[in-house]
Structure 1
Amino acid sequence: MHKTFVATALMLGLCLPAAAEQFSNSNSDSMISPVSVAEPNTAVQHREKHDSEKQQGLPITLTGEHAVYDTVSGDFHAEGNVKVTQNGQDIYTTQVKGNMKTGDIWLLEGGKFVEKQAESSAAWAHYNFNSKTGELKKINGKNGKDYFSAPHAEIYPDKMVLDEGGTTTRCPAVKHPRCLEIKAETFEVYPGEKMVARDVKVYVRGKHIYSRDYWENSLTDKSKERLLPHIGFKDSDKGTYINVSYERPLGDKDVVYADLNYYSKAGYKPVYGLEHNERNFKVTYENGWYEDDDEWVRKENNIRFNYKNHHIAPGLPLSYSAYVERGLWKNDDTGRKSWHMEYGAFLNHDRIYLFNSKNTSLDMTIGKKWTRESAEDSVESTNVYYATLGQKISPKWNTWVGYYREDFTSNVFTYDQPDMAKELRNGLQYIMDDKNIFTVVNRYDLDQKKNYETKYSWTHKFCCWDLSLIYKHKDYDNDNSFEVKFDFVNW
């Protein structure tokens, strides 16, 4: 018979945290799903990230085949099929002992820790609930997409430190060397925030490729950095391209980064930047090259201020965001240059789920944008309206339709301008299995009353990298384009 007792004012903290769900606000139109809709056209939309509340002092439930608790000394001991549960976190072991008054708990025969997407095991563990400190020996597990292992770890109130070396990878291979693996002398894991590695070595299929002294990976925001190059071919003025990205934190709020891009047709087009990130806003300073609709624009001393999305009032499903950007933009092909200043404000409605179902969702945004170009000494403005209705038909099928309205605000550059003033966009996605995804996106020009373009894409997921084939039929100029991308998954 299982015996159960409940202890209060204790907090479990033994498991590596699951990474927070991320919202992508890229302009990609090929993988828009009804669950996570990409940003339409060129407007910048910021979804407010809600961190889960940290609940202190919740009760712990301990069950085991044999459980003993001394109410005077506070000592407890449980054996058999032991399960310790608290606030959504479970520990499974065969033997546990501790003291409720001192806050100590020992897993003498090790155990398995499960919380959301994270699952890890340790051969031995000690934790003190009062000081929020502890120790783990011989740990390994999976946190979301990441596999990790280490011989030893120390737990502190704000972080976990793998202090005797460790490895992390997203490759599940066991019969051959892992496609990509990162080894480091120390890993520091800050729950829900970031992971910091020092004295890092990067391995591909078991071969040491290069070393670096420091690597930081955010668990809340998508990192700009890629540990290995991304390679592809695009049938345009880009040709074959290769990208290497790097970033280095300069403190808790500042990061310097570089996107080193080379194109066989366009040449070397790097981007260098510095980012300062506060809770309510973000400031970015950049110099470098950007491309859109086959127009290359070189931004010099470009500064962008983003005021992050905030709800107007508690309980009200409306939030607002704003931005302002200024820099010297140049097009070397045409010789045109202009001090470009752009600013905008947006009002967003929280995602609406229709018909009492999470499978049908509606996202809506309205706003206004202004653009000032020194080359023409003019200011243009436009109202913006975005609405996307998404439907999850089945676990394998997704579809969506969106209405986007936004006028041109620059007569100097086509970069970062909408392709059409009124657009109807619809898509269909088929998830064949965990390796293959097919997507079709059609764009219709409502002003011209004709189809603008249709995009077909297929992505095949290999062990640690993706192969994407993208074909576009461009109705607007009766042309076609083809792109091949080879990407190491998220790294």
Structure 2
Amino acid sequence: MRKQSKQVVAIAVACGFLWGNSLSGEAAETITAAEQTRTQPLTNQEPVAIENTVQPDPQSSPIDKKTAEVAKADTAKDTPKTKKAKTQSDAPVTITADELYMSDSTGDVYAKGNVKMVQGSQQLLTDLLNGNTNQQELWIAGQADYTDTAFKAHLDAMDTRYNYQTKEGTMAAVKGKVDRDIISGESVVMAPTEILIHNGTVTRCPAKVPDYHMSAERIEMWPGKKMVAYNAKFWLGNMVIYSLPVYEQSLEPGAQGNNAYPTIGYSSRDGVHIRQKLEMPVANKFYGFVNLDFYTHGGFKPNGGVSYRQSAYSVGVIDGYYRDDNGNWIKKQPEFDFNLYSHRIGSLPISYTFNAAYGQWIDSSKTSWHKEYNLYFSHDVIHLNGRNDLSLGTGVGMIHESYDNSTIHDFKFDTTLTHTFNDRWSTWLGYHYTKTQNSLFAYDRPDMARELDTGFSYKIDNKNTFKYSQSYDLNNKHLYDQDYTWVHDLHCWVGSLTYRAKRDQWKFDVALKRW
């Protein structure tokens, strides 16, 4: 029979429910496992049914809660490894329960009643836990509550099994959240950097019965990076609106992502519109997409293309109809694009982007081979104090048209000062300058050479926000635009109604608030 402190270490090792982290201290010296970093999707693993629990061996020693905690602390103190800076992998493992047992002869571990296990950012709560140090496994036949603050995960599951040598675990009947995504699944496989959901669902609508969700036979999630779903179906309420063999979504913070659901709206110029984007990977880093846009005043205006995407840039070809914010239409047939994503200049607080395009542009009266490039520099937002933020940017560009053999050169400068009064009130003042000549096409061109824009936003309550904005033409000395916007929170959707007073136009849009 081991001494009490040694027994507690063995229990801590057996209960090292750390998905993706190595054991530390004396526990790590007792049981070691090779570090594994997963770079490929998980295999189609299913959880093993758990039918029986291990009862305490008559020869095992009971350990009371207080002794377990003290022994863990003493062991950590005597271990040289604990003297270095603590990291997630160095974090000690602690387990508390109403009853704790450890068998030296069989390696069985038994914890019952208010079982709580903690290591680093992870916590496991259950009523009954079994494990075996010889098999390097632990299992929970009943309900378990798992939290990982690093993954921002909180899951409720049944039939949990974990092998701390391979660092993979399985769960059944899972419900919970991973970051912003609300998930469920018949079974879930956990790995150091990946979560695999079988026959599961994902949504960001917190309603008891979600307004929308995606279901799929297999969902692979890399929290904070991306999600890939296979044989995915997209639901509005209880109705499937479409399905895709493969669907990919960015999970990076701030990513706009691929909106899988349609937007509906109205504008005085285009009438009622319905827009739907469909996108799917077609090969390694190659993606195909199509935008199915319909306007009652303009008819069916689709566009689509193929793009090759790397972490630093993308290259693609597009074809179809495109509309800018002012309602100017162009048909690209086709256009080749190169986009260099934002890159920082050394250690400076300045980043730059670059894009280039070449293709045939067509409007109602002319056709031209259009060549364009733009280079733009942005300074990090300057926080003048707790309430004022200053944004600065400048850039150059070039446009050449074959129609009249014209070439124009752009120089741009933009600055905006934002002041936040409180959580409800904010206002802004911006100046925008563009040195350019008249271009052949009006599509996506600035309305003014020197523009002063200002406005404010006021949050009336948790569901309603009012915004006012105006644009002043400094060259011609007149008010160019004056917009009034009401934004209403529809729980999982958001609606916005805008009146453009200087143009006497209305605009209304409804889209998902969360996806």
Shorter-chain TM-score range? 0.7 to 0.9
Structure 1 residue 441 and structure 2 residue 473: aligned?
no
Over aligned residues, Cα RMSD in angstroms?
Answer: 3.3
The 2-side partners of 1:95 and 1:398 are apart by 53
373 and 463 in structure 1: CA distance in 2 versus 1, 3 angstrom threshold: same
- TM superposition shift of 1:198: 2.4
How many angstroms does 1:69 deviate by? 10
Tell me the alpha carbon deviations over residues 441-490 of structure 1, each in whole angstroms, 9 at most, x when there is no partner: 2222222233221212122222433222111122xxxx311012222445
- Aligned partner (choices 182, 193, 199) of residue 147 of structure 1: 182
Change (3 A) 1:398 1:144: farther
Partner residue in 1 for 2:50: none
Distance 1:102 1:350 in 2: 53
Q: Matches of 1:119 and 1:310 in 2, distance apart?
A: 35
SS at match of 1:250: strand
Distance in 2, Cα, partners of 1:12 & 1:339: 55
3-state DSSP of counterpart to 1:294: coil
In structure 2, the residue matched to 1:260 is 292
The 3-state SS of whatever aligns with 2:174 is strand
Residue 486 (structure 2) pairs with residue 473 (structure 1)? no
Distance 1:459 1:486 in 2: 10
1:131 aligns with 2:155: no
Alignment match of 1:120 (pick from 144, 151, 155):
155
Structure 1 partner of 2:378: 348
Using the alignment, how far apart are the partners of 2:462 and 2:93 within structure 1? 36
Change (3 A) 1:472 1:61: farther
Tell me the distance in 1 between the aligned counterparts of 2:162 and 2:20. 8
CA contact (8 A) 2:271 2:295 kept: yes
3-state SS of 1:283 partner? strand
Structure 2 distance, partners of 1:428, 1:192, is 33
Gaps of 5+ in 1: 15-54
Q: 1:283 aligns with which of 308, 315, 321?
A: 315
TM-score by length of 2: 0.75
CA contact (8 A) 2:115 2:129 kept: no
Aligned equivalents of 1:324 and 1:119: distance in 2? 44
String of CA shifts for 1:21-53, please: whole Å, max 9, x gaps.
xxxxxxxxxxxxxxxxxxxxxxxxxxxxxxxxx
1:51-450 alignment to 2 at 5 Å? 57-62=89-94, 64=96, 80=114, 82-86=116-120, 88-94=121-127, 104=137, 106-107=139-140, 109-115=143-149, 117-163=152-198, 165-174=199-208, 177-220=209-252, 221-227=255-261, 229-236=262-269, 238-292=270-324, 293-313=326-346, 315-332=347-364, 335-355=365-385, 357=386, 359-408=387-436, 410-450=438-478
Alpha-carbon distance between aligned partners in 1 of 2:235 and 2:264, rounded to the nearest angstrom: 18
1:22 alignment counterpart: none
- 2:56 matched to which residue of 1? none
Q: State how many pairs are aligned.
A: 433
In structure 2, the CA distance between the partners of 1:303 and 1:415, relative to structure 1 (3 Å rule), is same
> Higher helix share goes to which structure?
2
Instruction: Report how far residue 121 of structure 1 moved.
Output: 1.9
TM-score between the two structures when normalised by the length of structure 1: 0.78
Structure 2 vs 1, CA of residues 60 and 393 (structure 1 numbering), >3 Å: closer, same or farther? farther
- Contact 1:195–1:217 under 8 Å retained in 2: yes
Greater share of strand: 1
- Tell me by how many angstroms 1:230 deviates: 2.0
Is 1:407–1:418's contact at 8 Å kept on the other side of the alignment?
no
The offset of 1:431, in angstroms, is 2.7
Indicate if the aligned counterparts of 2:315 and 2:337 stay in contact, CA closer than 8 A. yes
Q: Deviations over 1:370-418 (max 9, x none)?
A: 1112222222112211222223322222322222212345520111111
Higher RCO (C-alpha 8 Å, min separation 6): 1
Stretch deviating more after TM superposition (411-420 or 401-410): 401-410
Deviation, structure 1 residue 223 = 3.1
Q: Distance in 2 between matches of 1:398 and 1:69?
A: 60
Q: 89-98 or 275-284: which moved more?
A: 89-98
Aligned mates of 1:210, 1:172 — CA distance in 2 = 22
